[in-house]
Copies of this chain bind each other. A is one copy, B any other.
Amino acid sequence: MKELNPLLHSQLRLAVISILMNVEEADFVYLKEKTESTAGNLSVQLDKLAGAGYIEVEKGFVGKKTRTVCRITPAGAKAFEEYVDALRQYLNI
């Protein structure tokens, strides 16, 4: 049986990647709401995804307030596709 990339096989990280696969970019606040996660947890998981090169994180401002936007990278998209492919074997779908 194929291995399931452990970086993606985590509910929150998978949710984040899944969202980013369908949406040019998304900011921290949006991801937090959509995934119903705590800020701390989200922060940590975004770091991991960024550390692996699966997403890029850009910190900027909107007016005076900070804004963290995330985008999936080609490596991230590839890893996601491979993960889905491996999962099919388990789910047989």
B-binding residues in A (CB < 8 A): 1, 3-4, 6, 9, 11, 14-15, 18, 22, 34-36, 84, 87-93
- A interface, over-half SS: helix
A88 contacts which chain B residues (CB < 8 A)?
93
Q: Identify which of A1, A88, A90, A93 gathers the most chain B CB atoms within 10 Å of its CB.
A: A90
Q: How many copies does the complex hold?
A: 2
CB distance from A67 to the nearest CB of B (A): 23
Chain B residue nearest to A36 in the complex (CB): B1
Tell me whether A34 and B1 are in contact (CB under 8 A): yes
Contacts of A15 in B (CB 8 A): 1, 90
Known: A4-B11, A87-B87, A88-B93. 12 other contacts (CB 8 A): A1-B35, A4-B14, A6-B11, A9-B9, A9-B11, A18-B89, A18-B91, A18-B92, A22-B92, A84-B91, A87-B91, A93-B93
